[in-house]
């Protein structure tokens, strides 16, 4: 196997921001911060090309799906995650990864806009290169058992928690981000070992905020990235189990290959093994038939839940699409979960002393229980959300000992 060259794209996705060379065994060979096209094309000669794209542009979810082969799962995934995305399903690309560690059988799924993915792939194509893989940078952040990995870059904070998908939130409020990632479990937070990866420039901006977390966690370790984040991500390329976005129609066509002599030898071996293949094909067909029946049952169940009282037949996909069009025409577009959480993080920072005790999200709206030192602190949070163009209502409030407790309802203003 040839080495990899891992190319990180700039935030706007239009040009390379640097690259590293990684051996087939996962060892870091070389790193370059330069972005000249000639140097990159020369370094990529004879190597497999992988792109690292901003995790802020990739929605990282988990879905509970029936067991089956990749082609059948690819048909079910968009409908299983429809309530968690705000864009039209036809404009999105879904890439399926490994099962998520922990209880249940949830599969990791990355979602990205198709037009954006095409723009990313156009960068190596302009240099005469073909990308063999595309990874979100948040997927390659190191994750150690019993530790929480935090990467600060400019105004973004990327968190990786064992058993959870990566989470990207504003870097200005790490306490809120950790509470959200750990589902407000104060005990889990106190037992956590927090590893922070950051450049010296970004640490100078955020040091005070993150040093304040030390009393709330078991330990806090800061690793300054003198060479930037890319060498750290490159070290995780092999064996990290990250989701390659190039699946389905985006699967790259393999280039190069064996010489003619090697091909003739392979053809001779294939002819010799043809008899074995014919014998094994019967067993394979039987096994695939059993898998197909299980997947068909899953599709029938999903169809029955979406269209109760109807029979799926052979046009299930078309009828599901027609029903989705009708539902979108009859109801307003749901708000984005990430945009609501971003606005909530800023409002939380604008109201010191407030704390989110419980939070639930459904179809573009968030319902939460909030406590603060007084009623004015909750009202400041409410006004901050309204100032962000959202619809925010302080539904109720009452004094609870030394704190004031209220229920806040938030939804998109559009």
pLDDT digits (tens, 9 = 90+) for 340-391: 888 888 888 888 888 888 888 887 788 889 999 888 888 888 888 888 888 8
What CATH number corresponds to the domain at position 391?
Answer: 3.30.1360.100
Residue 407 lies in a domain: yes
Q: Are residues 306 and 267 in the same domain?
A: yes
Higher pLDDT, residue 16 or 256 = 16
Predicted confidence at residue 120, as pLDDT, reads: 96
The average pLDDT across 2-29 equals 89
Under a CB-based contact definition with an 8 Å cutoff, are residues 369 and 399 in contact? no
The average pLDDT across 269-277 equals 77
Predicted confidence at residue 260, as pLDDT, reads: 41
Kindly tell me if the per-residue pLDDT of 33 is higher than 70: no
Q: Are residues 407 and 342 in the same domain?
A: yes
Under a CB-based contact definition with an 8 Å cutoff, are residues 389 and 412 in contact? no
Under a CB-based contact definition with an 8 Å cutoff, are residues 117 and 93 in contact? yes
Q: Are residues 406 and 344 in the same domain?
A: yes
How far, in Å, CA of 361 to CA of 365, rounded? Answer: 6
Q: Are residues 321 and 361 in the same domain?
A: no
pTM of the model: 0.61
Residue 175 lies in a domain: no
Predicted confidence at residue 316, as pLDDT, reads: 67
Residue 209 lies in a domain: no
Residue 380 lies in a domain: yes
Q: Are residues 375 and 316 in the same domain?
A: no
Kindly tell me if the per-residue pLDDT of 272 is higher than 80: no
The average pLDDT across 314-322 equals 68
Higher pLDDT, residue 135 or 79 = 135
Q: Starting from the edge strand earliest in sequence, which strands make up the sheet with 355-362, in order?
A: 355-362, 365-372, 403-411, 391-400
Condensed to tens digits (0 to 9), the pLDDT of residues 89-117 reads 999 999 998 887 665 678 899 999 999 99
Range of the domain at 386: 337-411
Q: Are residues 312 and 355 in the same domain?
A: no
Percent of the chain with pLDDT over 90: 38
At 10 the three-state DSSP class reads coil
Q: What is the CA radius of gyration of the chain?
A: 25
Instruction: Assign 317 a pLDDT band (cuts: 50, 70, 90).
Output: low
The average pLDDT across 176-191 equals 91
Which range (28-37, 122-131, 223-232, 400-409) has the least confidence? 28-37
Q: Are residues 311 and 368 in the same domain?
A: no
Instruction: Assign 60 a pLDDT band (cuts: 50, 70, 90).
Output: very high
Instruction: Assign 286 a pLDDT band (cuts: 50, 70, 90).
Output: confident
257-243-141 Cα angle (round to 5): 115
Total count of domains within the chain: 2
Residue 396 lies in a domain: yes
Using the CB atoms, write b or e for 208-239: b if 16+ within 10 Å: eebeebeebeeebeeeebeebbbbbbbbbbee
Residue 32 lies in a domain: no
Residue 391 lies in a domain: yes
Which range (8-22, 150-164, 219-233, 268-282) has the least confidence? 268-282
Residues 6 or more apart whose CB falls under 8 angstroms from that of 305 comprise none
Highest mean pLDDT of the ranges 110-119, 175-184, 333-342: 110-119
Kindly tell me if the per-residue pLDDT of 85 is higher than 80: yes
Residue 105 lies in a domain: no
Q: Are residues 389 and 345 in the same domain?
A: yes
């Amino acid at each position: 196997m040839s080495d990899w060259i891992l190319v990180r794209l700039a935030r706007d996705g239009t040009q390379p921001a640097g690259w590293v060379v990684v051996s087939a065994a996962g060892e870091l060979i070389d790193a370059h911060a330069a972005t000249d096209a000639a140097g990159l094309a020369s370094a990529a000669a004879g190597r497999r090309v992988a792109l690292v794209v901003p995790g802020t542009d990739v929605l990282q979810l988990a879905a509970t799906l029936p067991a089956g082969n990749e082609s059948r799962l690819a048909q079910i995934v968009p409908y299983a995650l429809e309530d968690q995305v705000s864009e039209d399903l036809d404009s999105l690309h879904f890439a399926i990864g490994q099962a998520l560690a922990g209880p249940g059988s949830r599969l990791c799924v990355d979602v990205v806009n198709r037009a954006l993915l095409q723009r990313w792939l156009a960068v190596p194509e302009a240099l005469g290169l073909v990308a063999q893989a595309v990874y979100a940078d948040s997927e390659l952040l190191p994750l150690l058992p019993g530790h929480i990995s935090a990467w600060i870059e400019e105004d973004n904070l990327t968190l990786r928690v064992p058993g959870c998908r990566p989470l990207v939130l504003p870097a200005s409020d790490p306490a809120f981000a950790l509470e959200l990632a750990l589902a407000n479990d104060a005990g889990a937070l106190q037992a956590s070992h927090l590893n922070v990866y950051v450049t010296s420039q970004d640490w100078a901006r955020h040091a005070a905020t993150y040093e304040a977390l030390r009393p709330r966690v078991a330990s806090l370790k800061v690793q300054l990235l003198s060479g930037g984040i890319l060498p750290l991500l490159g070290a995780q390329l092999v064996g990290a189990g990250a989701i390659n976005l190039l699946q389905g129609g985006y699967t790259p066509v393999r280039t190069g290959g064996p010489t003619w002599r090697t091909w003739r030898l392979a053809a001779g071996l294939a002819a010799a093994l043809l008899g074995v293949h014919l014998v094994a094909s019967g067993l394979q067909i039987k096994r695939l038939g059993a898998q197909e029946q299980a997947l068909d049952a899953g599709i029938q169940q999903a169809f029955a839940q979406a269209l109760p009282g109807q029979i799926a037949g052979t046009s299930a996909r078309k009828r599901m699409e027609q029903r989705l069009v009708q539902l979108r025409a009859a109801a307003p577009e749901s708000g984005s979960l990430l945009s609501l959480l971003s606005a909530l993080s800023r409002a939380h920072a604008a109201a010191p002393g407030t704390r989110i005790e419980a939070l639930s999200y459904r179809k573009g709206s968030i319902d939460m229980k909030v406590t603060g030192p007084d009623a004015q602190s909750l009202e400041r949070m409410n006004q901050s959300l309204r100032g962000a163009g959202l619809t925010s209502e302080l539904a109720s409030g009452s004094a609870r000992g030394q704190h004031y407790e209220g229920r806040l309802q938030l939804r998109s203003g559009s």
